[in-house]
Amino acid sequence: MNNPIRSALTICLLMPLVPLSAPAQSSSGNRATIQGVVENRDGEPVADVRVRAISRRTDKLVAETTTDSQGRFVLRRLLPGRYALVFYSPSYEQAVIKSIEVKRGQRKRLKRPVRLTPVKLYAVINGAVFDPQGYLVPGARVVLERIAFQAEPVPKLKRETTTNRSGAFAFRVPATRARYRLTATATGYAPQSITVDVGGAERRHVSIQLQSKR
């Protein structure tokens, strides 16, 4: 015959296991997912985009994933509520879905692909204008013009600015191979020009020294 004391102890030890497992299953059933596709402007999938879900109630990050080779993503284990979705990629501008709501246990699929806009790359030409004694010249006029390397036709590009209180200036130009002429003028000085070559998305620092009028 079985020992009645041992049988009673076995039943008592097993009883807590039943209610402990039930809440875990219920909690998992409350969770929702959001899935979708990320594409570029040509409708091509974009991989390795970081996708974040931010709670609209707490402004805290609650889930994060990255898109696969087909641009697909799934944000899992979301509690019922409203979320903002933020999409990050070094080659594209940040995209945001301000508010999307999920209900308990819902598998929500975005109706349309998320379209990302490519980041526009620029080159920067900055520098300063000096007088013949080497002092900085504020308020000097600086004109930038694109010129040809040889005799090939080039798109027209002309911009103008003035140096700030520190005698500095800056231009942002397309990140393509190009040659530019910068001409600085100021009252009491003869105009001075220099040539700058740009090879891509880079920063070029230059100095222009004015000469006294003869």
Whether the pLDDT of residue 13 is over 60: the answer is no
Average pLDDT over residues 69-90: 96
Whether the pLDDT of residue 192 is over 60: the answer is yes
pLDDT attached to residue 24: 42
CA 40, CA 177: separation in Å to the nearest integer?
25
Any idea how long the chain is? 214
103-148 pLDDT tens trace: 999 999 999 999 999 988 899 999 999 999 999 999 999 999 999 9
Angle at 123 between CA 208 and CA 142, to 5 degrees: 30
What structural domains does the chain harbor? Answer: 31-116 (2.60.40.1120), 122-212 (2.60.40.1120)
Tell me which residue of 142, 200, 143 sits closest to 174, measured CA to CA. Answer: 200
Which positions ≥6 away from 53 have C-beta within 8 Å? 34, 61, 62, 63, 64, 75, 78, 83, 84, 85
pLDDT attached to residue 3: 52
Average pLDDT over residues 71-99: 95
Average pLDDT over residues 35-42: 96
pLDDT attached to residue 54: 96
SS3 of residue 22 by DSSP: helix
pLDDT attached to residue 27: 55
Cβ-based burial of 155 (10 A; exposed 0-12, middle 13-18, buried ≥19): exposed
pLDDT attached to residue 11: 42
Q: If you average pLDDT over every residue of the chain, what do you get?
A: 88
42-53 pLDDT tens trace: 999 999 999 999
Q: Tokens 């402990």 appear where?
A: 20
Whether the pLDDT of residue 170 is over 60: the answer is yes
Which positions ≥6 away from 132 have C-beta within 8 Å? 189, 209, 210, 211, 212
Residues 12, 24: contact at Cβ < 8 Å? no
What is the C-alpha end-to-end distance of the chain, expressed in Å?
124
Share of the chain above pLDDT 70, in %: 86
Angle at 47 between CA 43 and CA 51, to 5 degrees: 100
